Protein backbone atom coordinates (compact mmCIF):
# COMPACT_ATOMS: atom_id res chain seq x y z
CA UNK A 1 0.00 0.00 0.00
CA UNK A 2 1.70 3.31 -1.09
CA UNK A 3 2.35 5.91 1.61
CA UNK A 4 -0.27 8.62 1.61
CA UNK A 5 -3.03 6.25 0.55
CA UNK A 6 -4.52 6.26 4.03
CA UNK A 7 -4.94 10.02 4.09
CA UNK A 8 -6.41 10.36 0.58
CA UNK A 9 -10.16 10.95 1.17
CA UNK A 10 -11.07 9.81 -2.33
CA UNK A 11 -9.25 6.54 -1.90
CA UNK A 12 -11.03 6.16 1.43
CA UNK A 13 -14.42 6.46 -0.24
CA UNK A 14 -13.47 4.14 -3.04
CA UNK A 15 -12.40 1.40 -0.61
CA UNK A 16 -9.00 -0.23 -0.50
CA UNK A 17 -7.93 -1.97 -3.73
CA UNK A 18 -8.18 -5.73 -3.44
CA UNK A 19 -4.91 -7.66 -3.16
CA UNK A 20 -4.26 -10.22 -5.91
CA UNK A 21 -4.24 -14.03 -5.82
CA UNK A 22 -0.59 -14.77 -6.55
CA UNK A 23 1.38 -18.06 -6.41
CA UNK A 24 2.86 -16.82 -3.09
CA UNK A 25 -0.64 -16.29 -1.66
CA UNK A 26 -1.73 -19.69 -2.92
CA UNK A 27 1.25 -21.34 -1.21
CA UNK A 28 0.76 -19.44 2.07
CA UNK A 29 -2.92 -20.40 2.30
CA UNK A 30 -2.63 -23.98 1.01
CA UNK A 31 -3.08 -25.67 4.42
CA UNK A 32 -6.10 -23.49 5.26
CA UNK A 33 -7.63 -24.21 1.84
CA UNK A 34 -7.39 -27.95 2.55
CA UNK A 35 -9.47 -27.42 5.72
CA UNK A 36 -12.17 -25.17 4.26
CA UNK A 37 -12.48 -26.34 0.66
CA UNK A 38 -15.74 -28.26 1.21
CA UNK A 39 -17.46 -25.01 2.29
CA UNK A 40 -15.85 -22.44 -0.04
CA UNK A 41 -15.71 -22.55 -3.85
CA UNK A 42 -12.36 -22.17 -5.71
CA UNK A 43 -13.69 -18.96 -7.30
CA UNK A 44 -14.47 -17.44 -3.88
CA UNK A 45 -11.08 -18.53 -2.59
CA UNK A 46 -9.24 -16.52 -5.27
CA UNK A 47 -10.75 -13.37 -3.72
CA UNK A 48 -10.62 -14.50 -0.09
CA UNK A 49 -7.10 -15.98 0.16
CA UNK A 50 -5.23 -12.71 -0.63
CA UNK A 51 -7.47 -10.82 1.80
CA UNK A 52 -6.73 -13.39 4.52
CA UNK A 53 -2.97 -13.00 3.95
CA UNK A 54 -3.21 -9.19 4.01
CA UNK A 55 -5.47 -9.09 7.09
CA UNK A 56 -3.12 -11.38 9.02
CA UNK A 57 -0.17 -9.18 8.01
CA UNK A 58 -2.01 -5.99 9.02
CA UNK A 59 -2.90 -7.53 12.39
CA UNK A 60 0.79 -8.02 13.15
CA UNK A 61 1.72 -4.59 11.82
CA UNK A 62 -1.00 -2.80 13.79
CA UNK A 63 -0.97 -4.94 16.95
CA UNK A 64 -4.58 -6.00 16.45
CA UNK A 65 -6.61 -9.10 17.33
CA UNK A 66 -9.85 -10.20 15.70
CA UNK A 67 -12.66 -11.50 17.91
CA UNK A 68 -14.96 -13.52 15.65
CA UNK A 69 -18.43 -14.74 16.64
CA UNK A 70 -19.62 -18.23 15.73
CA UNK A 71 -21.97 -16.65 13.14
CA UNK A 72 -19.13 -15.30 10.98
CA UNK A 73 -18.62 -16.97 7.60
CA UNK A 74 -15.87 -19.66 7.45
CA UNK A 75 -13.38 -17.41 5.60
CA UNK A 76 -13.46 -15.02 8.58
CA UNK A 77 -13.93 -17.61 11.33
CA UNK A 78 -11.18 -19.98 10.17
CA UNK A 79 -9.01 -17.54 8.19
CA UNK A 80 -8.52 -14.46 10.38
CA UNK A 81 -10.26 -14.94 13.76
CA UNK A 82 -7.75 -14.94 16.65
CA UNK A 83 -10.44 -15.76 19.19
CA UNK A 84 -13.66 -17.40 18.10
CA UNK A 85 -16.71 -18.38 20.09
CA UNK A 86 -20.04 -17.37 21.60
CA UNK A 87 -20.91 -14.01 23.17
CA UNK A 88 -19.67 -15.07 26.61
CA UNK A 89 -16.38 -16.44 25.29
CA UNK A 90 -15.72 -13.29 23.24
CA UNK A 91 -16.45 -11.01 26.22
CA UNK A 92 -13.99 -13.04 28.33
CA UNK A 93 -11.36 -12.81 25.56
CA UNK A 94 -11.88 -9.04 25.20
CA UNK A 95 -11.30 -8.64 28.94
CA UNK A 96 -7.88 -10.31 28.71
CA UNK A 97 -6.78 -9.14 25.24
CA UNK A 98 -3.16 -7.94 25.12
CA UNK A 99 -3.18 -6.18 21.72
CA UNK A 100 -3.78 -2.43 21.47
CA UNK A 101 -6.52 -2.84 18.82
CA UNK A 102 -9.53 -5.15 18.79
CA UNK A 103 -11.46 -5.71 15.56
CA UNK A 104 -14.89 -7.09 16.38
CA UNK A 105 -16.07 -9.54 13.74
CA UNK A 106 -19.59 -9.54 15.10
CA UNK A 107 -22.32 -6.98 15.74
CA UNK A 108 -22.27 -3.54 17.35
CA UNK A 109 -23.30 -4.55 20.88
CA UNK A 110 -20.36 -6.98 20.95
CA UNK A 111 -17.94 -4.20 19.97
CA UNK A 112 -19.44 -1.98 22.68
CA UNK A 113 -18.93 -4.76 25.22
CA UNK A 114 -15.28 -5.03 24.19
CA UNK A 115 -14.84 -1.25 24.49
CA UNK A 116 -16.52 -1.21 27.90
CA UNK A 117 -14.16 -3.95 29.10
CA UNK A 118 -11.07 -2.37 27.49
CA UNK A 119 -11.60 1.41 27.53
CA UNK A 120 -7.92 2.06 26.81
CA UNK A 121 -7.91 -0.02 23.59
CA UNK A 122 -9.03 0.98 20.11
CA UNK A 123 -12.09 -1.12 19.27
CA UNK A 124 -13.09 -1.26 15.62
CA UNK A 125 -16.20 -2.63 13.96
CA UNK A 126 -15.93 -3.10 10.19
CA UNK A 127 -19.53 -1.97 9.61
CA UNK A 128 -21.30 0.43 11.96
CA UNK A 129 -24.73 -0.69 10.78
CA UNK A 130 -24.25 -4.27 12.03
CA UNK A 131 -27.02 -4.05 14.64
CA UNK A 132 -29.28 -6.56 16.38
CA UNK A 133 -33.08 -6.71 16.69
CA UNK A 134 -32.76 -7.57 20.40
CA UNK A 135 -30.44 -4.65 21.16
CA UNK A 136 -32.76 -2.23 19.37
CA UNK A 137 -35.89 -3.56 21.15
CA UNK A 138 -35.21 -1.76 24.44
CA UNK A 139 -33.81 1.60 25.58
CA UNK A 140 -32.19 2.78 28.81
CA UNK A 141 -35.38 4.79 29.47
CA UNK A 142 -37.47 1.59 29.20
CA UNK A 143 -35.24 -0.05 31.82
CA UNK A 144 -35.53 2.95 34.14
CA UNK A 145 -39.35 2.73 33.91
CA UNK A 146 -39.25 -1.00 34.69
CA UNK A 147 -37.00 -0.38 37.69
CA UNK A 148 -39.48 2.23 39.00
CA UNK A 149 -42.30 -0.27 38.57
CA UNK A 150 -40.40 -3.13 40.28
CA UNK A 151 -38.29 -1.59 43.05
CA UNK A 152 -35.90 -4.06 44.68
CA UNK A 153 -36.11 -6.52 41.76
CA UNK A 154 -32.69 -7.16 40.17
CA UNK A 155 -32.26 -6.31 36.49
CA UNK A 156 -30.50 -8.96 34.42
CA UNK A 157 -29.90 -8.00 30.80
CA UNK A 158 -28.77 -10.18 27.96
CA UNK A 159 -25.45 -8.97 26.48
CA UNK A 160 -27.42 -8.34 23.26
CA UNK A 161 -28.16 -4.78 24.47
CA UNK A 162 -26.59 -1.35 24.07
CA UNK A 163 -24.01 -0.09 26.58
CA UNK A 164 -26.61 2.49 27.74
CA UNK A 165 -29.00 -0.35 28.65
CA UNK A 166 -26.20 -2.30 30.35
CA UNK A 167 -25.48 0.81 32.43
CA UNK A 168 -28.98 0.48 33.94
CA UNK A 169 -28.40 -3.18 34.70
CA UNK A 170 -27.34 -5.06 37.82
CA UNK A 171 -25.70 -7.92 35.95
CA UNK A 172 -25.48 -9.14 32.34
CA UNK A 173 -25.96 -12.68 31.07
CA UNK A 174 -25.57 -14.60 27.84
CA UNK A 175 -27.40 -17.71 26.71
CA UNK A 176 -24.48 -19.75 28.10
CA UNK A 177 -25.11 -18.66 31.70
CA UNK A 178 -28.57 -17.04 31.95
CA UNK A 179 -30.01 -19.50 34.51
CA UNK A 180 -26.89 -19.24 36.69
CA UNK A 181 -26.97 -15.41 36.53
CA UNK A 182 -30.72 -15.16 37.28
CA UNK A 183 -30.31 -17.36 40.37
CA UNK A 184 -27.21 -15.47 41.55
CA UNK A 185 -28.98 -12.10 41.12
CA UNK A 186 -32.11 -13.25 43.03
CA UNK A 187 -29.91 -14.57 45.85
CA UNK A 188 -27.86 -11.36 46.04
CA UNK A 189 -31.04 -9.25 46.25
CA UNK A 190 -32.81 -11.66 48.64
CA UNK A 191 -35.81 -11.94 46.30
CA UNK A 192 -37.60 -14.62 44.28
CA UNK A 193 -38.15 -12.52 41.15
CA UNK A 194 -35.89 -11.10 38.45
CA UNK A 195 -36.34 -8.80 35.45
CA UNK A 196 -34.72 -10.67 32.53
CA UNK A 197 -34.47 -8.36 29.49
CA UNK A 198 -34.98 -8.03 26.55
CA UNK A 199 -35.39 -11.47 24.89
CA UNK A 200 -38.86 -12.84 25.63
CA UNK A 201 -38.05 -16.30 24.30
CA UNK A 202 -34.81 -16.62 26.25
CA UNK A 203 -36.72 -15.49 29.36
CA UNK A 204 -39.41 -18.12 28.79
CA UNK A 205 -36.77 -20.81 28.27
CA UNK A 206 -34.94 -19.75 31.44
CA UNK A 207 -38.23 -19.86 33.40
CA UNK A 208 -38.46 -23.61 32.65
CA UNK A 209 -35.11 -24.13 34.39
CA UNK A 210 -35.57 -22.19 37.64
CA UNK A 211 -38.03 -21.47 40.44
CA UNK A 212 -37.25 -17.74 40.24
CA UNK A 213 -40.20 -15.73 38.87
CA UNK A 214 -39.19 -14.10 35.59
CA UNK A 215 -40.48 -10.75 34.37
CA UNK A 216 -39.66 -10.43 30.67
CA UNK A 217 -39.67 -7.90 27.81
CA UNK A 218 -41.06 -8.41 24.31
CA UNK A 219 -37.76 -8.38 22.40
CA UNK A 220 -37.12 -11.05 19.78
CA UNK A 221 -34.18 -12.19 17.73
CA UNK A 222 -35.33 -11.72 14.14
CA UNK A 223 -33.32 -14.79 13.09
CA UNK A 224 -34.45 -17.32 15.69
CA UNK A 225 -38.09 -16.21 15.89
CA UNK A 226 -38.53 -17.35 12.27
CA UNK A 227 -38.21 -21.05 13.17
CA UNK A 228 -41.51 -22.76 13.91
CA UNK A 229 -42.19 -26.03 15.73
CA UNK A 230 -44.05 -27.26 12.60
CA UNK A 231 -40.87 -26.72 10.50
CA UNK A 232 -38.80 -28.71 12.96
CA UNK A 233 -41.32 -31.56 13.18
CA UNK A 234 -41.38 -31.74 9.36
CA UNK A 235 -37.57 -31.84 9.23
CA UNK A 236 -37.43 -34.52 11.93
CA UNK A 237 -39.84 -36.67 9.91
CA UNK A 238 -37.64 -36.25 6.83
CA UNK A 239 -34.42 -37.02 8.79
CA UNK A 240 -35.49 -39.30 11.67
CA UNK A 241 -31.91 -40.00 12.85
CA UNK A 242 -30.79 -36.37 12.97
CA UNK A 243 -30.04 -34.71 16.31
CA UNK A 244 -31.82 -31.34 16.51
CA UNK A 245 -29.99 -28.59 18.43
CA UNK A 246 -31.76 -25.25 18.96
CA UNK A 247 -30.66 -21.90 20.33
CA UNK A 248 -32.60 -20.55 23.37
CA UNK A 249 -33.52 -17.43 21.39
CA UNK A 250 -36.03 -19.80 19.69
CA UNK A 251 -39.59 -20.14 21.01
CA UNK A 252 -40.47 -22.65 23.78
CA UNK A 253 -42.41 -24.62 21.15
CA UNK A 254 -39.27 -25.02 19.02
CA UNK A 255 -37.26 -25.99 22.10
CA UNK A 256 -39.91 -28.60 22.99
CA UNK A 257 -39.43 -30.43 19.67
CA UNK A 258 -35.61 -30.24 19.70
CA UNK A 259 -33.22 -32.73 21.32
CA UNK A 260 -30.94 -30.12 22.90
CA UNK A 261 -31.04 -26.36 23.42
CA UNK A 262 -28.03 -24.24 24.34
CA UNK A 263 -25.81 -21.32 23.36
CA UNK A 264 -23.79 -21.49 20.16
CA UNK A 265 -20.78 -22.74 22.18
CA UNK A 266 -22.95 -25.42 23.81
CA UNK A 267 -24.02 -26.59 20.34
CA UNK A 268 -20.39 -26.82 19.21
CA UNK A 269 -19.58 -28.81 22.35
CA UNK A 270 -22.52 -31.17 21.70
CA UNK A 271 -21.46 -31.90 18.12
CA UNK A 272 -17.79 -32.33 19.05
CA UNK A 273 -18.41 -34.66 21.97
CA UNK A 274 -21.38 -36.69 20.68
CA UNK A 275 -20.40 -36.78 16.97
CA UNK A 276 -23.93 -37.58 15.72
CA UNK A 277 -24.15 -38.95 12.16
CA UNK A 278 -26.60 -36.21 11.20
CA UNK A 279 -27.33 -32.93 12.96
CA UNK A 280 -29.55 -29.87 12.47
CA UNK A 281 -28.50 -26.59 14.07
CA UNK A 282 -31.59 -24.41 14.54
CA UNK A 283 -29.73 -21.14 14.40
CA UNK A 284 -27.75 -18.85 12.06
CA UNK A 285 -26.46 -20.54 8.89
CA UNK A 286 -22.71 -19.96 9.26
CA UNK A 287 -22.60 -21.95 12.49
CA UNK A 288 -23.12 -25.20 10.61
CA UNK A 289 -20.34 -24.36 8.11
CA UNK A 290 -17.87 -23.53 10.87
CA UNK A 291 -18.62 -26.61 12.97
CA UNK A 292 -18.69 -28.87 9.88
CA UNK A 293 -15.11 -27.87 9.05
CA UNK A 294 -14.05 -29.03 12.52
CA UNK A 295 -16.11 -32.22 12.62
CA UNK A 296 -15.61 -34.16 9.38
CA UNK A 297 -17.95 -37.14 9.14
CA UNK A 298 -20.93 -35.32 10.71
CA UNK A 299 -23.62 -34.47 8.13
CA UNK A 300 -25.29 -31.09 8.64
CA UNK A 301 -28.93 -30.74 7.56
CA UNK A 302 -29.60 -27.05 6.91
CA UNK A 303 -32.88 -25.53 8.14
CA UNK A 304 -31.01 -22.29 8.99
CA UNK A 305 -31.63 -18.53 8.75
CA UNK A 306 -29.12 -15.78 7.96
CA UNK A 307 -28.57 -12.88 10.37
CA UNK A 308 -28.51 -9.80 8.10
CA UNK A 309 -26.49 -7.90 10.72
CA UNK A 310 -23.76 -10.50 11.17
CA UNK A 311 -23.54 -10.84 7.38
CA UNK A 312 -22.56 -7.15 7.06
CA UNK A 313 -19.10 -8.17 8.28
CA UNK A 314 -17.00 -9.47 5.40
CA UNK A 315 -13.29 -10.10 4.79
CA UNK A 316 -13.22 -6.95 2.69
CA UNK A 317 -14.79 -4.77 5.40
CA UNK A 318 -12.37 -6.24 7.99
CA UNK A 319 -9.46 -5.49 5.66
CA UNK A 320 -10.62 -1.89 5.18
CA UNK A 321 -11.24 -1.57 8.90
CA UNK A 322 -7.57 -2.41 9.54
CA UNK A 323 -6.24 -0.29 6.67
CA UNK A 324 -8.17 2.84 7.68
CA UNK A 325 -8.61 2.20 11.42
CA UNK A 326 -12.36 2.36 11.04
CA UNK A 327 -15.00 2.35 12.49
CA UNK A 328 -13.98 3.18 16.01
CA UNK A 329 -16.52 2.34 18.69
CA UNK A 330 -16.70 4.68 21.64
CA UNK A 331 -18.79 4.62 24.80
CA UNK A 332 -19.11 7.71 27.03
CA UNK A 333 -17.09 7.31 30.26
CA UNK A 334 -20.05 7.54 32.66
CA UNK A 335 -22.03 4.92 30.70
CA UNK A 336 -18.96 2.75 30.29
CA UNK A 337 -18.16 2.65 34.02
CA UNK A 338 -21.68 1.46 34.93
CA UNK A 339 -21.94 -0.97 32.02
CA UNK A 340 -18.53 -2.42 32.93
CA UNK A 341 -19.75 -3.31 36.42
CA UNK A 342 -22.70 -5.23 34.96
CA UNK A 343 -20.53 -7.14 32.45
CA UNK A 344 -17.70 -7.70 34.94
CA UNK A 345 -20.09 -9.20 37.54
CA UNK A 346 -21.07 -11.76 34.91
CA UNK A 347 -17.46 -12.50 33.94
CA UNK A 348 -16.53 -12.90 37.59
CA UNK A 349 -19.04 -15.73 38.07
CA UNK A 350 -17.36 -19.12 37.70
CA UNK A 351 -17.81 -20.46 34.14
CA UNK A 352 -20.70 -22.98 34.03
CA UNK A 353 -19.40 -26.50 34.84
CA UNK A 354 -21.37 -27.94 31.90
CA UNK A 355 -22.80 -25.91 29.03
CA UNK A 356 -26.24 -24.57 30.04
CA UNK A 357 -29.14 -26.44 28.44
CA UNK A 358 -32.75 -25.38 28.18
CA UNK A 359 -34.49 -28.47 26.85
CA UNK A 360 -35.08 -30.26 30.17
CA UNK A 361 -38.19 -28.92 31.91
CA UNK A 362 -37.07 -28.40 35.52
CA UNK A 363 -39.71 -25.83 36.57
CA UNK A 364 -42.83 -24.33 35.05
CA UNK A 365 -43.37 -20.84 36.43
CA UNK A 366 -45.55 -18.39 34.51
CA UNK A 367 -43.59 -15.56 32.87
CA UNK A 368 -44.91 -12.00 33.13
CA UNK A 369 -44.15 -10.14 29.90
CA UNK A 370 -43.98 -6.38 30.39
CA UNK A 371 -44.05 -3.46 27.97
CA UNK A 372 -43.94 -0.05 29.61
P1 LIG B 1 -24.45 -16.81 21.68
O2 LIG B 1 -23.24 -16.87 20.83
O3 LIG B 1 -24.15 -16.18 23.00
O4 LIG B 1 -25.14 -18.12 21.81
O5 LIG B 1 -25.48 -15.77 20.99
C6 LIG B 1 -26.10 -15.99 19.81
C7 LIG B 1 -26.47 -14.71 19.18
O8 LIG B 1 -27.51 -14.58 18.63
C9 LIG B 1 -25.50 -13.65 19.20
O10 LIG B 1 -26.01 -12.57 18.58
FE1 LIG C 1 -29.17 -10.17 17.08
FE2 LIG C 1 -30.35 -12.44 16.40
FE3 LIG C 1 -28.54 -11.40 14.76
FE4 LIG C 1 -27.77 -12.45 17.12
S5 LIG C 1 -28.68 -13.55 15.40
S6 LIG C 1 -27.12 -10.50 16.23
S7 LIG C 1 -29.52 -11.95 18.40
S8 LIG C 1 -30.52 -10.48 15.31
pLDDT tens, residue by residue, 334-357? 999 999 999 999 999 998 777 789
| CA dihedral for 213, 219, 221, 227, sign (positive or negative) | positive
Q: 271 CA distance to ligand 2 centroid (A)?
A: 22
* pLDDT score of 5 more than 70: no
Question: Which residue minimizes the CA distance to atom 7 of ligand 2?
Answer: 221
pLDDT tens, residue by residue, 273-328? 999 999 999 999 999 999 999 999 999 998 889 999 999 999 999 999 999 999 99
> Contact, 288 vs 304, CB < 8 A?
yes
pTM (global) more than 0.85: yes
> Mutate which of 81, 83, 86 to test ligand 1's pocket (most atoms within 8 Å of Cβ)?
86
Q: 26 CA distance to ligand 1 centroid (A)?
A: 33
Comparing CA positions, the residue from 305, 284, 309, 285 lying closest to residue 131 is 309
> Mutate which of 72, 159, 175 to test ligand 1's pocket (most atoms within 8 Å of Cβ)?
175
For 224-301, CATH number? 3.40.50.10800
pLDDT tens, residue by residue, 181-199? 999 999 999 999 999 999 9
Task: Give the mean model confidence (pLDDT) for residues 108-127.
Answer: 97
CATH T-level fold of 9-131+310-324? Rossmann fold (3.40.50)
Q: Where are the domain boundaries for CATH 3.40.50.10800 in the chain? A: 9-131+310-324, 135-218+335-370, 224-301
How much is the pLDDT for 352?
76
CA atoms within 13 A on the CB side of 240: 1
* pLDDT score of 9 more than 70: no
How much is the pLDDT for 14?
56
Give the CATH number of domain 135-218+335-370; options: 3.30.365.10, 3.40.50.10800, 3.40.720.10, 3.30.70.20.
3.40.50.10800
CB-defined site of ligand 2, < 6 Å = 107, 132-134, 160, 221-223, 249, 284, 307, 309-310
Amino acid sequence: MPDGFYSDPQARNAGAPLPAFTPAVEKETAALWERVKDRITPLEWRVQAPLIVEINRLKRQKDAVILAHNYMTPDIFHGVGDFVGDSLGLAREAARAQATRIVQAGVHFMAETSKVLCPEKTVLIPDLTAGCSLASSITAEDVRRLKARYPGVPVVTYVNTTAAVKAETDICCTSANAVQVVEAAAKAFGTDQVLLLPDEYLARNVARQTDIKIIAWQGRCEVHEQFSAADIVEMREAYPGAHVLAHPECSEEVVAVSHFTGSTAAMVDYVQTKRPKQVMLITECSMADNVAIETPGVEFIRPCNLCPHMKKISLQSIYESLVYDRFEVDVPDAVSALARQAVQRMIDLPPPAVPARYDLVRAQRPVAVELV
